[in-house]
Amino acid sequence: MVAKTLFGFEEILANELRQLGAQKVVIGNRMVSFYGDTGFMYKANLCLRTAIKILKPITSRKVRNVQDVYEFIQSIRWESYLDVDDTFAIYATVNSTQFTHSKFIALKAKDAIVDKFRKEKGRRPNVDLDHPDLSIDIHIQRDMCTVSLDSSGGSLHHRGYRTATNIAPINEVLAAGLLLLSGWDGQCDFLDPMCGSGTMTIEAAMIACNIPANLNRKEFAFEKWLDWDLELFEKIEEACLHKTRDFHHSILGMDKAPSAIRKAQKNIENANLTDFIKIKEGDFFRSVKEVEGPLHMVFNPPYDERLEIDIEKFYAQVGDTLKQNYPGTHAWFITGNLEALKYVGLRPSRKIKVFNGKLEGRFVKYEMYSGSKKAKFQTKDK
């Protein structure tokens, strides 16, 4: 199988797959391939935090031209996957000099399937791009054409809990990936000081409690497959829920907009996480650290691609607030404005290239020590 992901999350996704029990895990570009049975495919869709889709390849062949593609698609035993009364959709991606138009490839593949059914059954299944019974993925790399079934359906970032959003909410897969990149494991207190609609706090709570990422999702594409095994899925879901763990620290989300607070609370309620997350109205720049001991902070501040702000003043305030009010804190944030980082006035200890959609950004870490950094290292030496 193949799990698709965002740029920079391949290693994290591979690690997630290994922890779940995947075999023969191999990292690619924005994807990780692995082996597993049907039950593992269900588990991967349910549990993986950084996967966008899980594809199940069914066959591949070298192709030289469009006619080759048509004949190859028509040679597949589609009756094993699709009834004549079912609906289907085809999505194609091409990375080839011979094939340059993905929509044309998808159209020819659709013709091949329809012609095959019409010839053999006298009737044809219909296309439904919005809610198909079978979603087919065609990928051409140079001259190799791979046909896969999309077991997820809609992108796995649609977790099912987020019904209320603000301007430019962070993608749930991106949020989970950033949290895992930051080393968040639920072993201390957590703060998102600019929480918006609450996505970061929800993903942080699910990681801390080891709750399956897509537990609240309404459906997966494999539930419409001819070999759908409800009993097996329910067993796997139950086994995953038995592996949840207690969380003995606090998760706090803060935002200065009352509308954001209401949306965050609604989403947290949808995710059944009100026992683990507290949301409050407040301005980060007027806040202080409220907990004893280490604090893990991850946030997604506004930058000029999304909201009009005074970049220089805003990022200077971020740095001043961290320096003056948040000792003993590991603070991480993502920004798409690379120039803005120089106004923070602090030296990041980590800087990781990430993408928020098509926008290149940096995920940066600032370590705020209790007392001076020099004193911290002197204490360590002793």
In the chain, what are the domain boundaries?
Answer: 2-150, 172-211+245-381
| Residue 108 pLDDT exceeds 70 | yes
pLDDT given for residue 253 in this prediction: 98
User: What average pLDDT score do residues 290-318 get?
Assistant: 85
Cα 160 to Cα 44, 164, 218, 219, 273: the distances in Å are: 16, 11, 6, 9, 13
User: What average pLDDT score do residues 354-376 get?
Assistant: 80
| Residue 307 pLDDT exceeds 70 | no
Q: What percent of the chain has pLDDT over 70?
A: 95
DSSP secondary structure of 256-268: S-HHHHHHHHHHH
> In this predicted structure, which of 31-45, 273-287, 293-307, 354-368 has the lowest mean pLDDT?
293-307
The rounded Cα 37 to chain-centroid distance in angstroms is: 23
User: What average pLDDT score do residues 108-129 get?
Assistant: 95
What is the topology classification, in CATH, of domain 2-150?
VC0802-like (3.30.2130)
| Residue 302 pLDDT exceeds 50 | yes
CA distance 198 to 262: 10
For residue 231 the two structure tokens come to 């009993």
| Residue 304 pLDDT exceeds 80 | no
Report the candidate in 169, 202, 176, 212 with the shortest Cα–Cα distance to residue 9: 176
| Residue 376 pLDDT exceeds 90 | no
Amino acid residing at 329: T
- If one compares 358 and 308, the residue with the highest pLDDT of the two is 358
| Residue 48 pLDDT exceeds 80 | yes
Can you state the angle between helices 10-20 and 38-47, rounded to 10 degrees?
130
Note whether 3 and 53 are within 8 A (CB): yes
**Mean of all residue pLDDT scores within the chain:** 93
| Residue 380 pLDDT exceeds 50 | no
**Confidence label for 371 from pLDDT (cuts 50, 70 and 90):** low
21: left (phi over 0), alpha (psi -120 to 50) or beta: left
Q: What percent of the chain has pLDDT over 90?
A: 86
User: What average pLDDT score do residues 74-100 get?
Assistant: 94
**Confidence label for 168 from pLDDT (cuts 50, 70 and 90):** low
CA dihedral sign of residues 351, 354, 356, 360: positive
Q: Return the C-alpha torsion angle 55, 60, 66, 70, nearest 10.
A: -90
Note whether 157 and 171 are within 8 A (CB): yes
CA distance 110 to 89: 8
Work out the angle at residue 42's Cα, subtended by the Cα atoms of residues 37 and 45, and round it to the nearest 5 degrees. 120
Superfamily for 172-211+245-381?
Vaccinia Virus protein VP39 (3.40.50.150)
pLDDT tens figures, 2-26: 999 999 999 999 999 999 999 999 9
pLDDT given for residue 378 in this prediction: 40
pLDDT given for residue 374 in this prediction: 45
User: What average pLDDT score do residues 174-178 get?
Assistant: 97
Burial class (CB in 10 A: 0-12, 13-18, 19+), 275: exposed
